[in-house]
Amino acid sequence: MKNILVTGGAGYVGSHVIVSLLEQGYGAVSVDNFYNSSPKVYQRLRELTGKDFIDIEADVCDEAKMKEVMAKHDLWAVIHCAGYKAVPESVSKPLEYYQNNLGTTFSLCNAMRQTGVTRFVFSSSATVYGEPQFLPYTEEHPTGNCTNPYGMSKVMNERILTDMAAANPDWGVVLLRYFNPIGAHPSGRIGDAPGGIPNNIMPYILKVANGLLPVLPIAGDDYDTPDGTGLRDYLHISDLAEGHVAALRYLEDFTGSEAVNLGTGQSVSVRELIRGIEKTSGKTLPTEIKSRRPGDIAEARADVSKAKRLFGWETKKTLEEMCADAWRWASQNPQGYEGE
Ligand code: UD1
């Protein structure tokens, strides 16, 4: 059995990646310091998969610890999901963002070199593309034109990992450029659990549907789009998680580096997303038109042909399933993992 290190394994993406790994016969070792997540997710993962895995509370920046973990658990690959991810906070705390989001990668790369681990899957983001020069974004679209330190930390990580793969011919690196993951595991037991006022649209919609926030701010209805609101390529978190396992399979006999988009290839507006949750929840959501967020674009949409060509991966779940699963999670866990 191949053992995979998942950094940020207690987080929204990492926890769903662990489900996919365990279901497909991999062993998982999670490292998380619970900076933005809860240890309670682990018990739920064991219950819903019926499988066990190793969880370690540690800071991924702790290089000696990462080396110890890699040596002890006979790891084959690293899936690096851990990171700070709040765009506005990154603008006010750039040093913290660069230090953490780059420091984790330095620590992992050093530990890999010392222990002979040669496979790396990185949680990147469509944010690396910046303002679109053309749509859908292909992986050849220029990157680096980001307006905030969070986005720049993804760009820099991509560059560091690409350079590491070039310098180490036995390394294989996949940079997964996520579009907008939403939804939750169909069991309703794990999902996205941001505290306070969410930055992203889906958790905000769900808090309004649960009555935890009074009104949903629509960040601009004057975009050049059919209904005036922003268009994004939302994909189900379980499809995204499967994309990581597909990347691992590809890495079995691949060396070098590849950037690969993970999305559906379709874009959906803010209003359509709201309607999706209204339909599945049976509630009408109060909304308020606000000004555009700085740095926001009218549309983001992935060219998904590379993922299909290299990995044989494509999304399976519909917008209805994304909304139904998101609402099942949110309505059953209105306080996230803290409600029990
Ligand atoms: C955002 C980040 C991006 C990050 C991604 C995943 C920005 C500018 N971009 O992408 O770097 O990789 O999250 O974490 O923050 N919207 C509202 N009201 C809200 C919030 C959002 O109408 O309260 C709209 C936005 O204008 C956009 C859509 O909802 O059209 C999606 O927003 P969001 O979920 O924040 O994702 P992105 O902006 O695509």
**Per residue, what are the HEC states of 141-182?**
CCCCCCCCHHHHHHHHHHHHHHHHHHHCCCCEEEEEEECEEE
Ligand 1 pocket mutation pick from 91, 296, 299 by most atoms within 8 angstroms of CB: 296
Pocket, ligand 1, Cβ cutoff 6 A: 85, 87, 125, 127, 150-151, 180, 199-201, 204, 217-220, 230, 232, 270, 293, 295-296, 300
Residue pair 129/143 in contact by the 8 Å Cβ criterion: yes
Question: How far is 199 from 120, CA to CA, in rounded Å?
Answer: 28
- State phi, psi for 56 to the nearest 5 degrees: -130, 130
pLDDT band at 307 (very low <50, low <70, confident <90, very high): very high
- For ligand 1, the distance from its centroid to the CA atom of residue 293, given in whole angstroms, is 9
* Alpha carbon of residue 144 to chain centroid: 19
pLDDT band at 97 (very low <50, low <70, confident <90, very high): very high
Retrieve residue 95's tokens: 């040093």
Give the pLDDT of residue 112: 98
pLDDT exceeds 90 at position 195: no
Question: How far is 285 from 299, CA to CA, in rounded Å?
Answer: 23
- The active-site residue, picked from 26, 129, 137, 150, is 150
- Provide the mean pLDDT of the chain: 97
pLDDT band at 291 (very low <50, low <70, confident <90, very high): very high
Retrieve residue 309's tokens: 């060509």
Give the pLDDT of residue 101: 98
pLDDT band at 340 (very low <50, low <70, confident <90, very high): low
Residue pair 331/291 in contact by the 8 Å Cβ criterion: no
Give the pLDDT of residue 62: 98
pLDDT exceeds 70 at position 207: yes
- State which H helix or E strand residue 249 sits in: helix 237-251
For range 278-301, the mean pLDDT: 97
- Is 150 a residue of the active site? yes
Those residues with Cβ within 8 angstroms of residue 54's Cβ, 6 or more apart along the chain or in another chain:
27, 28, 29, 30, 73
Give percent above pLDDT 70 in the chain: 100
| pTM of structure | 0.98
- For ligand 1, the distance from its centroid to the CA atom of residue 285, given in whole angstroms, is 19
